[in-house]
């Protein structure tokens, strides 16, 4: 990996502290950082190099999955950090920064490879991109890259405007849009599993798949993000980006000799093939919910409109469920259900592929044969399991589901930010969101945003601590399905897992 300078906007902020510094440190310990590397932390606060280094150290001690054991190693890591005061609007701050970056590159004898990481509010993205270009920071003799975090726009028009401004300073190949769901090990394994297993490849089609369910349920409420969340809602905060990205990753079919470009090309094909929601028909395909008061884990919690910073008459969505279809050769006719929301019963992020039961009869139903499921679980635990049926070896003669475990979670599994930052250093854009995907996702979501804004979709209140409005269940029931692992299924799954340990097959053993 080539020596690199990281220019980190927002070095004094929360994301840097909780995610970026621990990720950089773990990459350093694993020998996965460019050698040498240097970091320029930026912010308006009048910090010194020493003050930044102190904060980085504190962040590692508090948030890193690995605690530093070797003091020399930690010091070597910290010594790569420099700080410069920069206000995004002040041109002279960029000039000063350029001088510092150039002299450090000379001092270390490294090429001018610069990775600009924007860990600041999206309202600053355009100004920073403009100033990187106009100050000469972006005119390098090496490569330059831009790493940004969502949100990428508030709607289609603002996303296009943002992209136009970024494109004036960086080419698409140089822009790395982080969607941290794409950094999760389970998501990164999806493509590999399909690739490496002809049997899964063969089953990855509408011939065998009955439906797909993508869930991202949270127990937390709006927390301290009222100002942002009340203008975004679940549809912008989760659905347009994370949920549609998960769908794209799941639905791609790759040739065996595929590379990063193929993943992006296929993802684009998937999102392009999403059947558009029809303006007059949105309420039958999309459920819009908002949490009312209730209880989470036995503790009473307030309803959304009683949360601090939220207007009493807010009609913002804290829950969205939708039924989608992909109109292509592989997926035509397979309903895809997506739901995400806050203040729900359990925290869970998972994808369930439910397979068809072509020979299902009343007798097989009575004997307890469950559909085969392929389950990608990202939270609360990480796992990939294939649920098959077998006869209970205990001798009762009943059928019982057993889980083939396809993913062993190790404690040192790299966290999403480590995977993604490492990829950005290497210039591998496979697990980043391409502009085409972002634009098409906004395009697909736009009629829903309009329908919500015009109140054309009823706002369903749901009790905090439930699984969301009952209309979300009805969305599936209309097709003869139900959400897997809610309530009774969650309990059954747990019992099965406990009782079935003896015949669970662990792929890595």
Binding footprint of ligand NAP on the chain (CB under 6 A): 10-15, 18, 43-45, 86-88, 119-122, 149
Q: How far apart, in whole angstroms, are the C-alpha atoms of residue 378 and residue 393?
A: 30
Q: Is 292 annotated as a binding residue?
A: no
Cβ of residue 121: shortest distance to ligand NAP, in angstroms?
Answer: 5
Q: Based on CB atoms, which residue is closest to ligand NAP, 119 or 466?
A: 119
Alpha helices in 252-349 (DSSP H): 260-272, 282-285
Give the pairing type, strands 209-217 and 399-405: unpaired
Q: Based on CB atoms, which residue is closest to ligand NAP, 120 or 214?
A: 120
The residues assigned a catalytic role are: 242
The half-sphere exposure of 373 on its side-chain side, counting CA atoms within 13 A, is 23
Q: Based on CB atoms, which residue is closest to ligand NAP, 53 or 119?
A: 119
Q: How far apart, in whole angstroms, are the C-alpha atoms of residue 295 and residue 344?
A: 9
Cβ of residue 45: shortest distance to ligand NAP, in angstroms?
Answer: 4
Q: How far apart, in whole angstroms, are the C-alpha atoms of residue 343 and residue 292?
A: 9
Q: How far apart, in whole angstroms, are the C-alpha atoms of residue 310 and residue 313?
A: 8
Q: Is 12 annotated as a binding residue?
A: yes
Q: Is 11 annotated as a binding residue?
A: yes
Cβ of residue 453: shortest distance to ligand NAP, in angstroms?
Answer: 22
Q: Is 73 annotated as a binding residue?
A: no
Q: Is 356 annotated as a binding residue?
A: no
Q: How far apart, in whole angstroms, are the C-alpha atoms of residue 202 and residue 208?
A: 9
Q: Decide if 482 contacts 470 (C-beta within 8 A).
A: no
Q: Based on CB atoms, which residue is closest to ligand NAP, 179 or 486?
A: 179
Alpha helices in 114-209 (DSSP H): 125-135, 156-167, 185-196, 198-203
Residue with smallest beta-carbon separation from ligand NAP:
13
Q: Is 17 annotated as a binding residue?
A: yes
Q: How far apart, in whole angstroms, are the C-alpha atoms of residue 260 and residue 268?
A: 13
Q: Decide if 354 contacts 484 (C-beta within 8 A).
A: yes
Cβ of residue 469: shortest distance to ligand NAP, in angstroms?
Answer: 27
Cβ of residue 127: shortest distance to ligand NAP, in angstroms?
Answer: 9
Distance, first Cα to last Cα, the chain: 33
Q: Based on CB atoms, which residue is closest to ligand NAP, 111 or 122?
A: 122
Q: Is 180 annotated as a binding residue?
A: yes
Q: Decide if 4 contacts 112 (C-beta within 8 A).
A: no
Nearest to residue 500, comparing CAs of 406, 404, 408?
404
Q: Is 10 annotated as a binding residue?
A: yes
Cβ of residue 167: shortest distance to ligand NAP, in angstroms?
Answer: 19
Please report the DSSP string for 78-126 in residue order: HTTEEEEE--TT-HHHHHHHHHHHHHHHHHHT----EEEEE-S-GGGHH
Q: Based on CB atoms, which residue is closest to ligand NAP, 233 or 447?
A: 233
> What residues are designated binding site for substrate?
180, 184, 218, 237, 342, 347
> What residues are designated binding site for NADP(+)?
10-17, 44, 87-88, 150
């Amino acid at each position: 990996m080539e020596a690199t300078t990281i220019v980190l906007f927002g070095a004094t902020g929360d994301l840097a502290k909780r995610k970026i510094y621990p990720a950089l440190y773990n990459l350093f310990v694993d020998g996965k950082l460019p050698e040498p590397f240097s970091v320029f932390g930026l912010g308006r606060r009048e910090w010194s190099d020493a003050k930044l280094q102190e904060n980085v150290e504190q962040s590692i001690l508090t948030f890193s999955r690995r605690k530093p054991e070797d003091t020399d190693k930690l010091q070597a890591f910290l010594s790569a950090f420099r700080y410069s005061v920069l206000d995004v609007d002040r041109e002279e701050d960029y000039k000063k920064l350029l001088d510092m970056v150039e002299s450090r590159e000379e001092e270390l004898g490294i090429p001018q490879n610069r990775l600009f990481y924007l860990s600041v509010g999206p309202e600053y993205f355009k100004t920073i991109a403009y100033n990187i270009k106009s100050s000469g920071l972006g005119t390098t003799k090496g490569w330059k890259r831009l790493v940004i975090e969502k949100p990428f726009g508030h709607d289609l028009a603002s996303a296009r405007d943002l992209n136009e401004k970024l494109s004036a300073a960086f080419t698409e190949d140089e822009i790395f849009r982080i969607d941290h769901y794409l950094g999760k090990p389970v998501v990164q394994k999806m493509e590999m599993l399909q690739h490496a297993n002809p049997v899964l490849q063969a089953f990855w089609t509408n011939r065998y798949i009955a439906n797909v369910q993508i869930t991202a349920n949270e127990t937390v409420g709006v927390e301290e993000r009222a100002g942002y969340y009340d203008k975004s809602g679940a549809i912008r905060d989760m659905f347009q980006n994370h949920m549609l990205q998960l769908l794209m990753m799941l639905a791609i079919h790759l040739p065996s000799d595929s590379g990063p470009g193929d993943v992006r090309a296929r993802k684009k094909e998937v999102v392009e093939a999403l059947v558009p929601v029809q303006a007059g028909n949105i309420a039958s395909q999309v459920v819009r919910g908002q949490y009312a008061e209730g209880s989470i884990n036995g503790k009473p919690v307030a309803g959304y409109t009683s949360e601090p910073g939220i207007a009493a008459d807010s009609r913002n969505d804290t829950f969205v469920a939708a039924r989608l279809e992909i109109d292509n050769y592989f997926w035509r006719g397979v309903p895809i259900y997506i739901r995400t929301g806050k203040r729900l019963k359990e925290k869970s992020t998972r994808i369930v592929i439910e397979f068809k039961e072509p020979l299902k009869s009343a007798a097989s139903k009575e004997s307890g044969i469950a559909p085969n499921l392929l389950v990608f679980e990202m939270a609360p635990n990480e796992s990939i399991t294939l649920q098959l049926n077998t006869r209970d070896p205990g001798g009762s003669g009943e059928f019982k589901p057993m889980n083939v475990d396809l993913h062993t979670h190790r404690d040192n599994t790299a966290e999403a930010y480590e995977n993604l930052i490492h990829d950005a250093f290497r210039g591998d854009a496979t697990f980043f969101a391409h502009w085409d995907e972002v634009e098409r996702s906004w395009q697909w979501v736009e009629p829903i945003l309009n329908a919500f804004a015009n109140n054309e979709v009823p706002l369903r209140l749901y009790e905090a601590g439930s699984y969301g409005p009952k209309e979300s269940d009805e969305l599936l029931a209309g097709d003869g399905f139900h959400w897997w692992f809610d309530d009774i299924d969650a309990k059954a799954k747990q019992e099965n897992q406990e009782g079935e340990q003896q015949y669970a097959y662990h792929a890595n053993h």
